[in-house]
Amino acid sequence: MKENIHPAYKEAKVVCACGETFTTKSTTPSIHVDICSKCHPFFTGRQKLVDAEGRVEKFKKKYAKNKK
């Protein structure tokens, strides 16, 4: 590899929307994420996310078959 062309790879603090924080390595000093392994439904086994904007209902309504 060429020298002095790569960004610095240092410790970074990751902050989740649920409040969980942990450290990892990255080229940026801090990373903000919406979901992590502590609050993701796949890892927790429960549905925690709320469809606040009604996207699922909007999709179902748009593609529902007419029952006339």
Domains and CATH numbers, the chain: 10-63 (4.10.80.400)
* Chain centroid to CA 34: 4
52 pLDDT band (50/70/90 cuts)? low
Q: How many residues are listed for the chain in this entry?
A: 68
Q: How far, in Å, CA of 3 to CA of 23, rounded?
A: 26
For the sheet with 10-16, list strands across it: 21-26, 10-16, 30-33
Digit-coded pLDDT (tens) for 8-42? 889 999 999 888 899 999 999 999 988 888 887 77
Output b/e per residue, 33-49; b: 16+ Cβ within 10 A.
eebbeebeeeeeeeeee
User: Does pTM surpass 0.85?
Assistant: no
